[in-house]
Structure 1
Amino acid sequence: MSVESAAVHLAEHLREKEYVEIYGHHDADGIAAASIMVHALIREDIQVRLRILPRIYPHDISSGNATVLCDFGSGFSDLSDDVMVIDHHIPRFEGEFHVNPRLEGVDGENELSASGAAYTVAQHIGDNRDLAGLALLGMIGDRQLIQGPNQDIVNEGIANNFLSPGKGIPLFGRDLNEQLFTALNPMLHGISGEEETVRSLIESYTVRNETDIGHLLSDVILKISPYQNADSMVSLWGDTWHLERGAVKDAHSLAGIVDGCGKSGKGVLGAALCLRSHEYLDDAWETARAYRLRVIAAARNAQPLKDNPFLYEIADADAISGVADAFSFDGLLNHPVAVMAPQDDFYSVSARCPQGAEKDLAAILSNLATECGGSGGGHYSRGGARIPREKVECFTAGFREACA
């Protein structure tokens, strides 16, 4: 079966429903995927209920209702067979209604996200080509490549005038100051979160309200070059995307807003923007800005665990994924890294593998978390776990051994 065939099978099943409960993971990909499904089903007069969560367990799912899980669910082998899953994580779910590129030999790590899989399902529910921009949010949020099935979706969006490509600074922000001050992808060493440094930089290259972007970026690259890898520096200029139907027209900004809202516990606010509501746009911008500054502050204050170069601890559990991204994807590390933070009776963990560090984090986190009485999983190069506080030393020792 192909991804397309699995999508057709799921779409036909959904079209028979009168009411569907949709759960989305709380990052940009999960919220975009869930929002795509909300759009597609409402257009067919199917009632929906949407919930955005940081994680899900089988007991969270309402019994007796048609349920779709977006960007999580694949990792469970004990879900009810009638649950529907749209995901791109390592698959263990064996239910009949499961759309996941990995099941069909497609690269779910880089070439099709959950939102891309949801877009494929939506096309077989009705004409939903205008949702290509939402699929793009997942690609940006999960740092995927515009190739393979992702390229097909983007091409369709361009061909139908829903996406317009351009060149520029592909960073979140309403202006250049905010782009540099809140930069997370990449996080700019010595610049992100430094208000006076950003103001001075921009003023140095601005004459009569015109900023020389080329020379400004050259200076930024010189300042960060001792601390950041080539990929992060090159990414400061590149492809940008204008969303013709977006509540926010710049795709990188909208992806950042949706992700920041989700990880701040306001996932429905992010989803509202994906559903093209402008009512709470200012609140969404400010929520995302505040989240990004929290991540930057957490990264600055992260403490390496004694004798364990693979692990860092921070105080803010909501910031662990952003800090892990910054350390592994933007810095000079050549080994896996995990960032952890206390949260209630658990430690939350987010782990990443920088390019060239070949470790299967999905397997490591799943196996190690199970050994330590928790849960974990994810992708080959990125994943997460929750570990009981009393078992945290079991996890840290095991992670060091697995990644050495």
Structure 2
Amino acid sequence: MNNFDLFLERAKLCAKTILEMSHPTLITHYDCDGLCSGAIVCKFLEVNNIKYELKIVRKLDDEFLESLKNKQELIFSDLGGAAKKLNEFDSNIVIFDHHQTEGLNKLQLNPQLFGLDGGNEMSASSCVYWALEQLPEIALVGSIGDMQYPLKGANKTLAQKFEKMGILEIETDLKIYGRASRPLVQLLSYSDEPFFPGLANNEERCAWFLESIGLKPINGSWPKYIDLSLEQKKLLIGALASYLTEYYKEKIDPNYLIGEVYNLKRFRDIPELYDAGEFSTLLNACGRHKKEQLGINICLGDLKAIEEGKKVLAAHKKALRDGVDYAYKNVIDLGSFLFLDGRGVIDDGIIGVVAGMLYAGARKKVILAIALDENSNIKISTRGTKELVQKGLNLGLILKEVCAIVQGVGGGHKIAAGATIPKNKLNEFLVEFEKALNQQLKN
């Protein structure tokens, strides 16, 4: 058997183990991938008439884990793989995770255990789907929401399978977020990948650019990209490539602006859900604004929840705009990395998103951003770049090691990771973080 066949054998065992449970407690993460993977488990349990209790959390700390010790049946999704404390439990446990893991002696389905890439080619959602085969579109939404774009490896295999099933449409088109839901001026102004210097965060400048190439508002409102004719789309893509060529003084191929996009066919009339990337943002909005159950309900197809989710998304977008505006004015270059102190200004639920949007596409350094959580501890979000990962960056490992020094909890992926530390440990953390970062990139 190859590694993937062994992975599928483990997936069958996980499904069989869950089917034998009578009333499990499901613990999942609050972000998009956590909500998607959790919803897939919920659907599987409901289809098989298994009652369950759902807990949605931001982190697994010892205090929370201790509260689970009396539970006889536990299912974890999008977390748990790094919780060695679970080795102390006598419970029947199944873990679906894709983060870095070691030293855990519980039944776990995790691509990392089979030599598969859990950072780029399989999210918790797609991992769970291979075992439970529920809510296919949601499996890919979770992967996109976990920054696994474009879909590769096991994710791409699933996408091609869903395309053959007739539920997914894979196109080559403009890959800017918001093509189905944002008016053109906002599409360009808030694009972070690709990043448009001079247009970013400047709607007036974007309006001037669009009008200069012959695109104009219709009845006083700017159209969305998805509503443009094929000729208008080609015109816009060509003009954007020319704009970047002039700015960077080197030829930018229009193909740089296009790539695979994933349309969920049954949501064609709901712009916020039609594009898998935009669906993922809606779910992230729910999780980061403490509407986690709403996100689960949206994944399960609750129409009332979808309407409520649109309102949450609108508030989320405003919070992001305000956060990004603040970030550009207050980010500090500390030499080895960029530092953003968002305490008291940016909510801890969106600090990581704001960090990822800052200088996106043009950033050369790691960014470390902080905010205060509900207990006044410091929430840390770090974001790297693909180029830095190729040079050896592993932010998940750095945060795990540094948090062990400052009595915090942290971890994640190579390109993005998070942590929580005591409020009086910030200076020590920053010193140790810089040491670890420099050592890692030096090696």
Q: TM-score, normalised by structure 2?
A: 0.80
Looking at structure 2, the residues matched to 49 and 185 of structure 1 have their Cα atoms a distance apart, in angstroms, of 39
1:31 partner letter: L
1:100 lines up with 2:110 in the alignment: yes
- Indicate yes or no: 2:313 matched with 1:288: yes
| 1:64 paired residue number | 71
After superposition, residues 1-400 of structure 1 pair within 5 angstroms as 2-61=6-65, 62=68, 63-79=70-86, 80=89, 82-92=92-102, 94-123=104-133, 128=134, 131-144=135-148, 145-170=150-175, 171-172=177-178, 173-177=180-184, 179-180=187-188, 182-184=190-192, 189=197, 191=199, 193-204=201-212, 205-206=214-215, 209=218, 212-220=232-240, 236-246=257-267, 248-302=273-327, 303-305=330-332, 307-310=334-337, 311-314=339-342, 315-316=345-346, 317-327=348-358, 329-333=360-364, 335-343=365-373, 344-357=375-388, 358-400=392-434
Return the structure number with greater helix share: 2
Aligned to 2:224: none
Whole-angstrom CA distance in 1 between matches of 2:256 and 2:105: 40
Q: How many residues align?
A: 396
Quick check: 2:210–2:216 contact (8 Å CA) kept in 1?
A: no
Counterpart code for 1:353: G
Q: Tell me how far apart the structure 2 counterparts of residues 249 and 306 of structure 1 sit (CA, whole Å).
A: 38
Structure 2 gaps of 5+ residues are 219-227, 439-443
CA distance in 2, matches of 1:158, 1:279: 28
Q: C-alpha displacement at 1:160, in angstroms? A: 1.1
Higher gyration radius (CA): 2
Give distance in 1, aligned partners of 2:195 and 2:53.
36
Is residue 113–residue 142 contact of structure 1 (8 Å, CA) maintained in 2? Answer: yes
Aligned residue for 1:363, secondary structure, equals helix
Cα distance between partner residues in 2 of 1:266 and 1:139: 20
Q: Contact 1:187–1:326 (CA<8 Å) still a contact in 2?
A: no
Distance 1:175 1:372 in 2: 43
CA distance in 1, matches of 2:123, 2:105: 20
- Letter in structure 1 aligned against 2:264: L
CA contact (8 A) 1:109 1:379 kept: yes
Contact 1:243 1:250 in 2 (8 A): yes
Contact 1:27–1:258 (CA<8 Å) still a contact in 2? yes
